[in-house]
Structure 1
Amino acid sequence: MNTFEGLLQDQIRNEFTASQQYVAVAVWYDEQDLPRLAAHFYKQSLEERNHAMMMVQYLLDKDTRPHIPSVGEVESDFKSTLEPLELAVAQEMTVTEQIETLARTARDEGDYIGEQFMQWFLKEQVEEVAEMNTLLNVAKRAGDDLFHLEHFLAREHVGVSTNDPTAPRVAGGNL
């Protein structure tokens, strides 16, 4: 049986892998001369990295030595502009399931501090999934003219984060 802290150690790897996946997506969009999409995913990469480092800080605060793992494989070859967005939606859905499992495990173990820690991540995942679904839907509507999606990103400021005072601390500071 996995413990909350064991699952959290695994999630650090998942978050770092998500960060690297978003770098690969950003680079692919950069190669396609879609600077707004590229910038969006470079920023997403930093956000995922910060999530991992929040978990690291939590473990440090709990006097548990965090394990900094290697990352999993990432996809970097895409055949269409929609593929990276579809991958991003699927990735965020998977992360949501992982975060839900973490919150449920903490509750089942009576780890109320761990459960409280996961609340911010649950809220964050609702936003992440909605944001990626919106980008995918707008891209589908844009068809072959992806400049509509570029303009949408510039106009709507999708993914522009504000400093959330309820966010957990990031080990080493927020990037």
Structure 2
Amino acid sequence: MNTNRLSDPLAKALNDQMTNEAHNAQIYLSYAAWASDKGYEGIANFLFRHSNEERNHMMKFLEYILKRGGKVVVTTIPEPGPDPASVNDCFEKVFKSEVENTAKIYKIVDLSLQEKDWATWNFIQWFVKEQTEEETMALDLLAKIKKAGGAKANADALYTLDNDLGKTPDDAVLAQDTSVENP
């Protein structure tokens, strides 16, 4: 008996996104290793935590495909690319990666809507919210590095930023979570 409830195009899109989440984990891992090598332990800690978060996203896709009776296809993960040239470059690359990931998530939203696969549409909504958080977090990081001097940040500013990021929570505050009492 066939228990697969995913169309071939949707199964492919979900498997591709699973691989993309693994790729994003490698990007964060690579940047974390770069930051650690440069002596930015707070930044490295922040990036290592986000690497783990991306791996968790990968597992959510894997598990969802299995639960819907689909076939998980594990493929090669692309290499993360070159090391950042600076802390500013690192956060610009993080933002770019998150925006690209959002576009891929939106394609799955569109496909699930077209196919009227409401289970997948419902599943992917968690990732829509997550990507809003990820982009907000990346923009917040870019704002912090800009205040520190951007690409020309001096050692004192980078030291402060490094200490701050070591304690920065993993989740950004979203617009829908604010109120008059809690802006």
Query: Take 2:93 and 2:158, find their aligned partners in 1: how far apart are those partners?
Result: 17
Taking structure 2 as the reference length, the TM-score comes to: 0.82
Q: Distance in 2 between matches of 1:103 and 1:160?
A: 23
Q: Is the 8 A contact 1:28 1:76 kept in 2?
A: no
Unpaired runs of 5+ residues, structure 2, are: 1-7, 173-183
Runs of 4 or more consecutive aligned structure 1 residues displaced over 3 Å after TM superposition: none
The residue aligned with 2:133 is 127
Q: Which residue of 2 aligns with 1:153?
A: 165
Determine if the alignment matches structure 1 residue 68 to structure 2 residue 74.
yes
Deviation at 1:79, TM superposition (A): 1.8
Give the 3 Å change call, closer, same or farther, for CA 122–12 of structure 1 in structure 2: same
Out of 7, 13, 23, the position equivalent to 2:19 is: 13
Q: Which runs of 5+ in 1 are unaligned?
A: 162-175
1:151 deviates by 3.2
Question: Normalising to structure 1: TM-score of the pair?
Answer: 0.86
Distance 1:123 1:77, change over 3 A: same
1:91-142 CA deviation, whole Å, 9 max, x = no partner? Answer: 0000001101101110111100000000000000000000011111101211
Alpha-carbon distance in structure 1 between the residues aligned to 2:34 and 2:82: 7
Alpha-carbon deviation of 1:77? 2.3
1:29 aligned partner, one-letter code: A
Report 1:51-90 matches (<5 A). 51-90=57-96
Amino acid at match of 1:77: D
- Which residue of structure 1 lines up, in the alignment, with residue 34 of structure 2? 28
Residue aligning to 1:50: 56
Change in CA separation of 1:46 and 1:15 when aligned onto 2, cut-off 3 Å: same
Instruction: Kindly provide the amino acid, as one letter, of the partner of residue 57 in structure 1.
Output: E
Deviation at 1:150, TM superposition (A): 2.0
Q: Report the equivalent of 1:102.
A: 108
Aligned alpha-carbon RMSD (Å)? 1.5
Report if the CA contact (8 A) 1:19-1:48 is conserved: yes
Distance 1:59 1:107 in 2: 17
Please tell me the residue identity of whatever aligns with 1:109: E
Aligned residue pair count: 159
- Within 1, Cα distance between the matches of 2:110 and 2:161? 37
Report the structure number with the largest CA radius of gyration: 2
